[in-house]
Structure 1
Amino acid sequence: MEFAGMVAIGLLIGLLIGLTGLGSGSLLTPLLILVGGLSPATAVGTSLAFSFTSKFYGSWNFYRRGMVQMDIVRDLSIGGLPGALAGAFLIRYLGLRQPGAMDAVLFRSIGAALIVVSLLMIARLLPLAMRPAAMDRTLPVSENVRRAFIVFAGFGVGASVTVTSIGSGAALIPAMILFYRLDSGTLVGTNVFMGTILAGVAGISHIGLGHVDWRAVAGLLCGSVPALWFATHLHGRIPRQIPEGIIAAALMAMGVHIIFL
């Protein structure tokens, strides 16, 4: 795709990230494949490089303002960093032993991740009366059980982020809601901070494997930066449910297309 096309995708992604906090991985990666024409491996690596670059400043700001729960980041990292490395090992193994199968595996994995993420988003958008009770309260479990679950969740998300670039937001937020009482700012700040760490570790792995299109990253940044600025001025004017509902429907459609068509 031409540079201008990447700028246009960046504009869309920046607008959606600014309105919902979602989209840097779950929406960008399939767009890079289906619209941008990148291979699945290059789309994942490019998405991770963009995600790290775009989230780094925001995560630092959250940390400076005391809106990052570092004990949760620690437990997520205990599982997430080995998970990210395991995902990198899987990609490298497929690339060396079965290069023809690597893109096919990544393609199907991305499709499955999109469907899971869309279902999680739909669950969050349900009216309060229709939600499972567990979605709105913390589970009464011991500290050891809670930490073990968070470490396990971190491993799964770390592997998913490396293989598909998807999962750091949509999967981590429900896990934290289940086990911790956090205000919305700390919830978002902790999620963004952990997502930046995983994007950095996974991105380095893909850079080493040559899976990053830096020209595409530059185009995405050129489009997303002004869109993010514009989106901040729309907060409160557009109900969150509208853009999140659009994203959920788009992710489900792309996931079904990737897996079944």
Structure 2
Amino acid sequence: MIDGAYAVAGALTGFVVGLTGVGGGALMTPVLLLVFGVPPTTAVATDLWFAAITKLVGARVHQTNGNVDWQVAGRLWSGSLPAALLVVVLVSLGLRVGKIEWLSVAIGVLVLVAGVGLLVGPKLAALASDGFGGLRQSRESMRRSVGAAAGAVLGVCVALTSVGAGALGSVMLMYLYPSRMTPHRLVATDIVHAIPLAMIAGIGYLLAGLVDWWMLASLLLGSIPAVVAGSLLAGRFSGRFIQISLALVLIAAGVKVLS
């Protein structure tokens, strides 16, 4: 049945997702693990579908405002979707995700990396403007290849842990496209990229019967109106203060999961 505590957690996460593009996996998964004591595989499986549906609603608002960079999203998809699909196939062929003892550790490490990445993201973008991220148009083919490779890394991370599509994805976008990704465009593109990735990654867990449907319904009850509110407000605020606050929370959550 519907659980009010899950609905509140979904609302808080959905609002952050709409405002910053981050939190569907990096924030919700640690909450499910640490606050509610959900088993890692159930947390990953349920969170993937929570993130996909929540971001689908948020993406509609951002697309209406014309902030999605479809070319960049396509580059990431060219790597992330095949990589996630490969993990799904392995799960379907008998990979016992539930027996991977390091799953909690992997989640903790990725959450920690995501938090640090969000904290130092603008500095990375500044450095990238004169480095690899500042590739000239004459090297566009290399930029496409690097975008696909970055997407492949995200695909594997998301399929195994549900973490990375938003938090790690935003850091990669900041670094690869420092001049192209304005704050609002970054949020919108990051959200859109995450939707099919989370759905594909979630298929294996769905077929394995690991999704907790009542938990998912409770989370969505809170997240759907909240992500709309956050997405509407994203056009009025830079979101940097929220990103810093979220980064500190993620770092603390990552350390807690690892400990």
Return the offset for 1:123. 0.3
**Is the 2:20–2:187 Cα contact (8 Å) retained in structure 1?**
no
Which residue in the other structure is 1:95 paired with? 96
Return the offset for 1:228. 3.5
Which residue in the other structure is 1:42 paired with? 42
**Is the 1:27–1:251 Cα contact (8 Å) retained in structure 2?**
yes
**Is the 2:154–2:168 Cα contact (8 Å) retained in structure 1?**
yes
Which residue in the other structure is 2:190 paired with? 191
Structure 1, 150-159 or 168-177: larger mean CA deviation: 168-177
- SS of 1:210's equivalent? coil
Aligned: 1:11 with 2:11 = yes
Return the offset for 1:3. 1.0
Return the offset for 1:200. 1.2
Give CA deviations for 1:157-190 in whole Å, capped at 9, x if unaligned: 0010111111112222233333332444333222
**Candidates 161, 165, 170, aligned match of 2:162:** 165
> Residues 133 and 87 (structure 1 numbering): CA distance in 2 closer, same or farther, change over 3 Å?
same
**Is the 1:121–1:248 Cα contact (8 Å) retained in structure 2?**
yes
Structure 1, 6-15 or 38-47: larger mean CA deviation: 6-15
Instruction: Determine the C-alpha separation between the residues in 2 that align with 1:38 and 1:65.
Output: 37
Which residue in the other structure is 2:134 paired with? 139
Q: TM-score, normalised by structure 1?
A: 0.83
Instruction: Determine the C-alpha separation between the residues in 1 that align with 2:182 and 2:149.
Output: 23
Return the offset for 1:66. 4.5
**Is the 2:61–2:232 Cα contact (8 Å) retained in structure 1?**
no
Q: TM-score, normalised by structure 2?
A: 0.84
- SS of 2:112's equivalent? helix
Which residue in the other structure is 2:208 paired with? 209
Which residue in the other structure is 2:147 paired with? 150
Instruction: Determine the C-alpha separation between the residues in 1 that align with 2:229 and 2:62.
Output: 20
- SS of 2:102's equivalent? helix
Return the offset for 1:27. 0.5
**Is the 1:88–1:163 Cα contact (8 Å) retained in structure 2?**
no
Which residue in the other structure is 1:177 paired with? 174
**Is the 2:18–2:231 Cα contact (8 Å) retained in structure 1?**
yes
Structure 1, 223-232 or 79-88: larger mean CA deviation: 223-232
Instruction: Determine the C-alpha separation between the residues in 2 that align with 1:171 and 1:4.
Output: 30
Return the offset for 1:233. 7.2
Structure 2 runs not aligned, ≥5 long: none
Return the offset for 1:248. 1.4
Count of residue pairs brought into register by the alignment: 252
**Candidates 105, 114, 120, aligned match of 2:111:** 114
Give CA deviations for 1:73-123 in whole Å, capped at 9, x if unaligned: 332222111211233355554418xx5x32x22111101101110110110
**Is the 1:83–1:159 Cα contact (8 Å) retained in structure 2?**
yes
Return the offset for 1:244. 2.3
- SS of 1:171's equivalent? helix
Return the offset for 1:12. 2.0
**Is the 2:111–2:251 Cα contact (8 Å) retained in structure 1?**
yes
Could you tell me which amino acid in structure 1 is paired with residue 127 of structure 2? A
Which residue in the other structure is 2:55 paired with? 55
Could you tell me which amino acid in structure 2 is paired with residue 244 of structure 1? Q
Structure 1, 20-29 or 108-117: larger mean CA deviation: 20-29
Instruction: Determine the C-alpha separation between the residues in 2 that align with 1:62 and 1:187.
Output: 11
Structure 1, 1-10 or 243-252: larger mean CA deviation: 1-10
Instruction: Determine the C-alpha separation between the residues in 2 that align with 1:63 and 1:237.
Output: 16
> Residues 165 and 201 (structure 1 numbering): CA distance in 2 closer, same or farther, change over 3 Å?
same
Structure 1 runs not aligned, ≥5 long: none
